[in-house]
């Protein structure tokens, strides 16, 4: 239970730094750290698929954001430090490669999904009782719109929000120009 409090404090501190700091790059990095903390929370709550989604969207998305938008703030290392940085990154990649090999050893073989080995897996219930409890012959539809409808709701919300962002950012004319904006009168 303490791990949740530690992670919670970490997330709060990272969000506060991300809001309060003046440097754009460190703000983006703090948002990445916050997303990493949230994905760890999901992992400790035994929701690994959401943790994977979280780490992909939050951390990798922010790395892409750094590369794409604020490249002028990046500082490039040259000289002797460049050699050191290359050695360190190669070592880190090698360690991640070894860890990946260990992970692939624990995976079940291709063609033998995990729910055939675990009789009480949730997917067994979907397959055996999906038709009579939801009435849908397409089990995918019964999962995404009945058993896991919350996921679909979240997905639709993400789509809706991104459409609002895209149409507002990409529209041709601004609705309010500085001339037509009324000054806010404070009462």
Whole-number minimum distance, CB 64 to another protein, in Å? 18
User: Which listed residue (87, 89, 138, 181) binds another protein by CB under 8 A?
Assistant: 138
Decide: is 127 part of the binding site for another protein (CB under 8 A): no
Q: Residues 164-183 vs another protein: string with x where CB under 8 A?
A: --xx--xxx-----------
Whole-number minimum distance, CB 167 to another protein, in Å? 5
User: Which listed range, 7-15, 57-65, 79-87, 159-167, lies at the site for another protein (CB under 8 A)?
Assistant: 159-167
Whole-number minimum distance, CB 133 to another protein, in Å? 7
Judged by beta carbon, residue 48 or residue 154, the one nearer another protein is 154
Q: Quick check: 115 and 123 in contact, CB under 8 A?
A: yes
Q: Which residues bind another protein (CB under 8 A)?
A: 131-138, 140-142, 144-146, 149-150, 152-153, 156-157, 159-160, 162-163, 166-167, 170-172
């Amino acid at each position: 239970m303490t791990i949740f409090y530690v992670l919670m404090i970490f997330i709060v501190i990272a969000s506060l730094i991300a809001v309060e700091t003046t440097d754009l790059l460190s703000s983006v990095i703090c948002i990445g750290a916050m997303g990493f903390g949230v994905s760890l929370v999901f992992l400790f709550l035994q929701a690994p698929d959401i943790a994977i989604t979280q780490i992909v969207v939050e951390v990798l998305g922010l790395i892409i954001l750094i590369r794409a938008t604020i490249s002028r703030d990046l500082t490039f290392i040259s000289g002797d430090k460049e050699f050191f940085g290359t050695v360190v990154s190669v070592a880190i990649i090698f360690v991640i490669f070894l860890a990946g090999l260990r992970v692939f050893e624990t995976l079940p073989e291709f063609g033998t999904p995990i729910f055939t080995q675990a009789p009480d897996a949730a997917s067994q219930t979907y397959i055996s009782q999906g038709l009579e409890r939801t009435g849908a012959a397409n089990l995918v539809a019964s999962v995404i719109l009945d058993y896991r409808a919350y996921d679909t709701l979240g997905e639709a919300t993400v789509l809706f929000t991104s459409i609002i962002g895209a149409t507002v950012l990409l529209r041709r004319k601004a609705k309010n120009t500085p001339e037509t904006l009324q000054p806010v009168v404070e009462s």
